[in-house]
Amino acid sequence: MSPIKPSAHLSEVRYEIRGALTRRARDMEAAGQPIIKLNIGNPGRYGFATPPHLREAIATHLADSEAYGHEQGLEEAREAIVAQQRARGASQVDVERVFVGNGVSELIDISLRALLQPGDEVLLPSPDYPLWSAATILNDGSPRYYRCLAANGHLPDPDEIDALVGPRTRAMVLINPNNPTGAVYPAALLERIVEVARRHGLLLLCDEIYDEILYDGVPFQPLAAVAGDHPCVSFGGLSKVHRACGYRVGWMSLSGDPARTAEYRDALQLLAALRLCANVTAQWAVRPALLDKPTIGELTAPGGRLHEARRIVLEGVAASPFLDVVAPGGAIYAFPQVRAEALPHFDDTAFALRLLEEESVLLVPGTSFNLSASRHLRLTLLPEPAQLRDVFVRIDRVLGRMAVE
Ligand code: PLP
């Protein structure tokens, strides 16, 4: 009997954050070896509890959650999302153009599926959050990467983006604050990027899932507020800022000239209707999350756990003879790199495997984020401080061995 063959599409798709290294780590754990995990941005696994008022809202509304809901999401949730966006200057957002999904992950796929024809191009950051590349490919599009280099503070160059636009380019994806780099884009840069999108008629897709996780007073500017009447989809969710990854709740809001976005809005609605609705129970947490007591600031302010983790990572890098890093302005990751002078021949994937096998530390190499010839490593800021300090000792031990081999 011939084997069941998967879709050929999948041969181009990677998601190494949960890939071969993770499987190897699971095998090591099953064999009794404890692993220090810095690979997944899953706050709940590291003792960051979901704020109690979100849990309470879900418990209170359990009995109201037994029927299918509106395909775009609960009215209460969408109203809260609109209020949040408008308060930030995104005046064009309205409840008819907000979609709640089972995580931002589902909505990334829907937003691209509603847009792309075979051969269309999407401008994506390199490094990217790899679901954006995967969803582009799975929906028949081709990624065109613009670089966000460490030498430029991991910020994109609008002139480079402009030069990459071709006749088949349909959309431009931004991730701000960025995963994996932690870069937060200044308002003036966003204005230049919007200007490029306007000139070429590109849809803007802005993944802002880390919008309130910011360090040292770095300001966050929502893209929709800058884009004004230009078509833009902004993504947010409960997973990170509200430490509720397991609830699987995200949202996207389409803004810009209603006449220009009407057909695309209808396509989004059709795709949302085909999957009936997002998990209704968890959507009850959206309104309290957005309107009552945001608490993430306590974690990112001096003395807070994320702030301390970031400080430890910056100290660990500064003390290392091998590493340097652009200090993350936001999100829950650092993206240090191994300096070429310290180790001229460096393969990030081979290193990550050695770090796992020799020192029981699991992190994600930069190439997993669609960054070619990467010398980078992504680590999360989520483990306890003592463990994070220890990680740098272990990283330097492996790099030290590699330097003399
Ligand atoms: N977008 C970015 C940039 C992410 O880092 C993640 C998860 O790590 C997601 C989207 C997916 O979020 P969700 O849990 O809402 O599906």
The model's pLDDT over 24-37, given as tens digits with 9 standing for 90+, comes to 999 999 999 999 99
Is residue 232 within 8 Å of residue 61, measured between CB atoms?
no
For 83-128, how does the pLDDT look when each residue is reduced to its tens digit (9 = 90+)? Answer: 999 999 888 899 999 999 999 999 999 999 999 999 999 999 999 9
Q: Residue 373: what pLDDT?
A: 84
Q: Residue 319: what pLDDT?
A: 97
Contacts of 151 (CB under 8 A, 6+ apart): none
d(CA 131, ligand 1 centre) in Å: 8
The residue nearest atom 12 of ligand 1, judged by CA position, is 104
3-state secondary structure of 147: strand
- Predicted TM-score (pTM) of the model is 0.96
d(CA 344, ligand 1 centre) in Å: 33
3-state secondary structure of 239: coil
Question: Can you list the domains of the chain with their CATH numbers?
Answer: 8-49+298-404 (3.90.1150.10), 52-291 (3.40.640.10)
Q: Residue 297: what pLDDT?
A: 85
Q: Residue 292: what pLDDT?
A: 76
Alpha helix segments (H runs only) across 88-166: 103-113, 131-138, 158-164
Residue 146 sits at φ, ψ, to 5 deg, of -100, 145
Residue numbers of the chain with a pLDDT score lower than 50:
none
The residue nearest atom 7 of ligand 1, judged by CA position, is 41
Q: Quick one: which atom of ligand 1 is closest to the CA of 107?
A: 16
Pocket test for ligand 1, best of 18, 184, 209 (most atoms within 8 A of CB): 209
Contacts of 249 (CB under 8 A, 6+ apart): 100, 101, 102, 103, 237, 238, 239, 278, 279, 282, 283, 285, 286
Distance CA 57, CA 49 (A): 15
Name residue, tokens 């309104």.
287
Distance CA 292, CA 286 (A): 10
- Find the residues whose C-beta lies inside 6 A of ligand 1: 41, 103-105, 129, 175, 179, 207, 209, 237, 239, 245, 250
Quote the DSSP letter at residue 9: G
What is the phi-psi region of residue 403: left when phi exceeds 0, alpha when psi lies from -120 to 50, beta otherwise? alpha
